[in-house]
Amino acid sequence: MGIIVPVLPQLILGFLGDNFTSAADVLGILISVWALMQFVASPVIGALSDHFGRRPVVLASNLALAMDHLIMAFAPALWVLFIGRVLSGVCSATVSTAYAYIADTTPQDRRASAYAVLSTAFGLGFVLGPVLGGFLGHIDLRLPFLVAAALGLANFFYGFFVLPESLPSHLRVPFSLRSANPLVSLKLLRRSSQLSRLGVLSFILQTAQQVLPACAVLYMTYRYNWEGPQIGLALAGVGIVYILIQGGVMRPLSKKVSEKTLAMIGFLMGVAGFWIYGSASVGIMFLIGIPVMEMWSLAQPSIYALMTKEVEVDEQGRLQGANSCLLGLAGFLGPWSFAKLFAIGVDPQIGLNAPGLPFFIASVLMIFGFVVVIGLRA
């Protein structure tokens, strides 16, 4: 999926005659539709994999993702892109199935390292994908979608011939509509004031983060006149710095300071980083802001760690479901809101000439989050 990140906004611009205001509105809606479908489908897909097994769900997902990218590659009109995003959102809900597959096949004492390997693979995909997509899109805007479709088909055939089923028949459970309700798990966050505040913080972080997929590519295109290769390299830089901070900064710091302190640092860096992004009048200033901005990533794992201390051992799964629900809600509300702010900022009829407006609003959200962190119990 990382392959199409730098070219999807440009494809939308092509349909709309380089109208950035309209393109921002459409991109925000597309991302929100994708997130809504993932939010709705995640518990359903999880329940289906518990009933039918992991293998058929994973195979169907890869085949459908290949179809999604083919639909978008040959989309003759803008509305066809919405069909592709709906299909992609449903298929992306199978990420939880991948984690369940690891839980099925890995001893409990080795699961953390196995999850780390999977997370690293996702991270590398979002480092290499934008670079590849940027350069392929420079050749033809639709070429990255064809390559993504080919990769999806390759995954399907690899899984069909190599991937074994991980869930034995005797461990499968009947499909339940209650287990497919994405809102049920949110009740857990009302357990205590501390847990409620942590839930608010998680939602703020996830919402503020949505400014990047909603606006970053259009922002770089509009403000710096960057094309696919430059945008792909910039996004890869974001991914590399994120991986370095998680691996080289988070681990040693977590041994020396508390989770609350790490969360405070993360929110403060988010305030500064989003403000730098929004005020960067030249591309080099945006690039300089990347290391500052990515320090916000200290906050999310710290908040998750604090949340796990507020529930019992047998409630950790429900807690993960609640966090997934918050992520889905943020992914639905954030992109459209930030894209609309970008559209307002660049609309010549309004005359603000403020393309950085959504980043400034994200910075204000992080200020509010910092205030909430201060009130947390140590």
Backbone angles phi, psi at 212, to 5 degrees: -70, -55
Q: What is the pTM of this model?
A: 0.86
Q: Show the tokens assigned to 161.
A: 């011939």
Q: What is the pLDDT of residues 259-303, one digit of tens each?
A: 999 999 999 999 999 999 999 999 999 999 999 999 998 898 888
Fold of 185-378: Growth Hormone; Chain: A; (1.20.1250)
* Radius of gyration for the chain, computed over Cα atoms and rounded to the nearest angstrom: 21
Nearest-5° angle of CA 349, CA 353, CA 357?
A: 115
Cβ neighbours for 59, distance < 8 A, ≥ 6 positions apart: 156, 159, 160, 163
Q: How far apart are CA 228 and CA 136, in angstroms?
A: 8
Annotate 55-115 with three-state secondary structure: HHHHHHHHHHHHHHHHHHHCCCCHHHHHHHHHHHHHHHCCHHHHHHHHHHHCCHHHHHHHH
Q: Alpha carbon 340 to chain centroid distance? A: 19
Nearest to 238 by CA among 301, 288, 304: 288
Q: Is 213 left (phi over 0), alpha (psi -120 to 50) or beta?
A: alpha
Its sign, for the CA torsion 41, 46, 49, 52, is negative
Cβ neighbours for 314, distance < 8 A, ≥ 6 positions apart: none
In this structure, are residues 46 and 99 in contact, taking their beta carbons and an 8 Å threshold?
Answer: no
Q: How far apart are CA 370 and CA 346, in angstroms?
A: 29
Helix (H, G, I), strand (E, B) or coil at 144: helix
Its sign, for the CA torsion 15, 20, 26, 32, is positive
CATH number of 1-160: 1.20.1250.20
Question: pLDDT tens digits, the chain, 378 residues: what are they?
Answer: 689 999 999 999 999 998 999 999 999 999 999 989 888 887 778 778 888 888 998 899 899 999 999 999 999 999 999 999 999 888 876 776 777 787 788 786 666 556 656 766 777 887 889 999 999 999 999 999 999 999 999 999 999 999 898 888 888 878 777 766 777 778 889 889 999 999 999 999 999 999 999 999 999 999 999 999 999 999 999 989 988 887 778 778 888 889 999 999 999 999 999 999 999 999 999 999 999 999 998 898 888 888 888 887 556 656 766 777 888 899 999 999 999 999 999 999 999 999 999 999 999 999 999 999 999 986
The segment(s) of the chain belonging to CATH 1.20.1250.20 are: 1-160, 185-378
Q: Show the tokens assigned to 338.
A: 């930030």
